[in-house]
A = this chain, B = another copy of it.
Amino acid sequence: MTPNKEDYLKEIYKLGGAEKLVGNKQIAEVLKIAPASVTEMLIKLSHEGLLHYEPYKGSCLTKEGLQIAITLLRGHRLWEVFLMRHLGYSWSEAHEDAELLEHITPPRLSGRLDKFLNYPAYCPHGSAIPHSDGQIDRKPLRPLVQLAAGESSHIRKVAEEKELLDYLQSLGIEIDGAVTVASIGPYEGPLMLDLDGRQVQVSHKAACQIYVDER
């Protein structure tokens, strides 16, 4: 395993490769690599038994590949908790450095870090932290943008993307905070939110990446 191959597996997982076939083009896009190079690597990874590769169709992770992807996610999220809770990192900074740290986090390290952090269930961005056996506690969520005007809920998760994280943190948006959609601008216009009495405007695009409780 190299950090490189790990990134392939992780991104395929994030693209849904645990349940369905993922096309090469998508993988090439998120990894910023030429499609031809992706084909090559996928064949290699399938020979290693880490994914099922169906030419011209796509790839999905095997149990082994899934295990590696989840282990990476676990390391990533545990580090995020550490970086924000103890080192004073911001949302986006934590994500950035965790992206590096995840690749050099053997089970011994993630296990002890987990204990040190007192077994956190969620990362600072609201994603569930997989247990050491690979189990993930999923919570049913929907994007904020699906709420109707006047509806209330709680913010449970935000997508991990640098620009978005900086934007949302500057707005003072917080995980588990109460939110009410005051109004929705027409034509994918901005949403006006009520956060504990504070009025905040967020773009439609951002609202697609913010998740709240289902129902």
In the complex, A108→B93 CA distance in Å? 9
Contact B100 A112 (CB under 8 A): no
Using known A-B contacts A86-B116, A87-B112, determine if residue A104 contacts B101 with beta carbons closer than 8 Å. Answer: yes
Task: Tell yes or no: A103 within 8 A of B by CB.
Answer: yes
Q: Could you tell me which residues of chain A, from 63 to 102, have a CB within 8 Å of some CB in chain B?
A: 86-89, 93, 97, 100-101
Contact A89 B103 (CB under 8 A): no
Contact A108 B97 (CB under 8 A): yes
Q: How many copies does the complex hold?
A: 2
Residues of A in contact, count (CB < 8 Å): 17
Task: Tell yes or no: A109 within 8 A of B by CB.
Answer: yes
Task: Tell yes or no: A106 within 8 A of B by CB.
Answer: yes
Task: Tell yes or no: A164 within 8 A of B by CB.
Answer: no
Contact B93 A100 (CB under 8 A): no
- 8 smallest A-B Cβ distances: which pairs? A100-B104, A87-B112, A86-B116, A87-B116, A97-B109, A101-B104, A88-B112, A104-B104
Give me 13 other A-B pairs in contact (C-beta within 8 A), A86-B116, A89-B112 excluded.
Answer: A87-B113, A87-B115, A87-B116, A88-B112, A93-B108, A97-B104, A97-B106, A97-B108, A100-B104, A101-B101, A101-B104, A103-B104, A104-B104
